[in-house]
Amino acid sequence: MTTTNQIYATSALYDLAFSYRNYVAEVDDLTRWYLQLSGEQQAPASALELACGPARHAIELASRDIRACGLDSAAEMCELARSLVREAGRDVRIHHGDMTAFELHERFDLIVLMLTSINHVLDEDALGRHFACVAEHLSERGVYVVEFGSIDGEHPPRRITWSARRNGDHVDVVWGVGEDSGAHEYADLKGTIDGRQLEVHDRFPMRGWRSAELVAPASAAGLSLRGCYGNFTDDHVAEIDRVVGLHSNTELHGCFVFAR
């Protein structure tokens, strides 16, 4: 699974588009969930951010004296992440690799996959390989957090627009699901970075996953679904039994947490 989408190749514009995220507060939540579900008394000693993009979560984790790594399949994103790591003065190793086939020869207490990146995994075999890789790299009491915008494969067409500004740079974003098929998303970004005008019009395949479709390959890899939390933008906490037993086409949002 190699990422060739233009949206990810234009890494600086992508990073600006998602600069509204509160990475400090989100890492607060990630470490809190780790403590709740691992049974440990201290924050994770190590963390891996999969499909890390600019690695903002990994950099924030490293700022808390957590040994952090990032992995992304887009070479341009890896280059941007390494630049941001140097700028932040943190020790974060960035690996260029596929989240369904990686081998880092180490284990992590916390592994995270943010921003609905799981939807880039397009079939059951790839999903099984992904969970197998995660299990291989997770410590004995480790926790794996997956963030979903939606895991339902039959979500209706949607269109979201927003703008972002930072240090004189700006971007206007249109992001949505194609009306002809929920299996494709489109992204239109137009903005200015360091005085350069940039414009991206991209379309790429995405796969929505229902809860039951996630539980089976996770279980095969030795992981179980331990908790489901609401989106980072609200305080809602979903009931875990509703998640496991869902058989409808209702859209689900939030963060799903797996452990051994």
**pLDDT of res. 209:** 83
Q: What share of the chain is helix, strand, coil (3-state, %, to 5)?
A: 30, 30, 35
CATH, range 6-153+208-259? 3.40.50.150
Q: Work out the number of other CB atoms within 10 angstroms of the CB of residue 82.
A: 16
**Exposed e or buried b per residue across 41-71, where buried means at least 16 C-beta atoms within 10 angstroms of its C-beta:** eebbebbbbbbbbbbbbbbbbbbeebbbbbb
Residue 25 has pLDDT above 60, yes or no: yes
**pLDDT of res. 198:** 94
Q: Are strands 184-193 and 196-205 parallel, antiparallel or unpaired?
A: antiparallel
**pLDDT of res. 233:** 64
**pLDDT of res. 183:** 64
Average pLDDT across the chain, whole number: 87
Residue 152 has pLDDT above 50, yes or no: no
**pLDDT of res. 117:** 93
Q: Is the pTM of this model over 0.85?
A: yes
Q: For 98-135, what is each residue's pLDDT tens digit? A: 999 999 999 999 999 999 899 899 999 999 999 999 99
